[in-house]
């Protein structure tokens, strides 16, 4: 049961808002704007353990790019379209 207790403790300590995240990671102005723009559709929810694995001062850290949005991700390019992540799944269901 020890692992279960650790999991529950870690889950209770997830970072869920910009101010808590900024205490751990130095956010750029663009990251702050992206977080604000996406907070309804994609709210922040990052474990402190995961945040401990990334470099808090490196905006190009690969782990950081996975969980912290940027304005570049919000740009719609010509010919681009929203990905329907369930399209294949629905097509392949009996």
Q: Is residue 26 part of a domain?
A: yes
Domains held by the chain: number: 1
For residue 80, is it within any domain? no
Residue 59 belongs to a domain: yes
13-35, pLDDT tens digit by residue?
A: 899 999 999 999 999 999 999 99
Per-residue pLDDT tens digits for 52-63:
999 999 999 999
Per-residue pLDDT at 82: 64
Q: Does 93 map to a domain? A: no
Smallest CA-to-CA distance from 68 within 39, 92, 40, 89 is with 39
How many residues does this entry show for the chain?
Answer: 94
Average pLDDT, the chain: 84
DSSP 77: P
Q: Which domain holds residue 64?
A: 2-75
């Amino acid at each position: 049961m020890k692992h279960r207790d650790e999991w529950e403790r870690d889950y209770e300590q997830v970072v869920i808002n910009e101010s808590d995240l900024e205490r751990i990671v130095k956010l750029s102005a663009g990251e702050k704007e992206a977080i604000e723009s996406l907070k309804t559709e994609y709210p922040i929810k990052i474990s402190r353990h995961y945040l401990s694995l990334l470099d808090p001062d490196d905006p190009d850290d690969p782990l950081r790019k996975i969980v912290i949005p940027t304005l570049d991700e919000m740009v719609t390019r010509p010919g681009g379209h929203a990905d329907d992540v369930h399209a294949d799944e629905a097509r392949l269901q009996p």
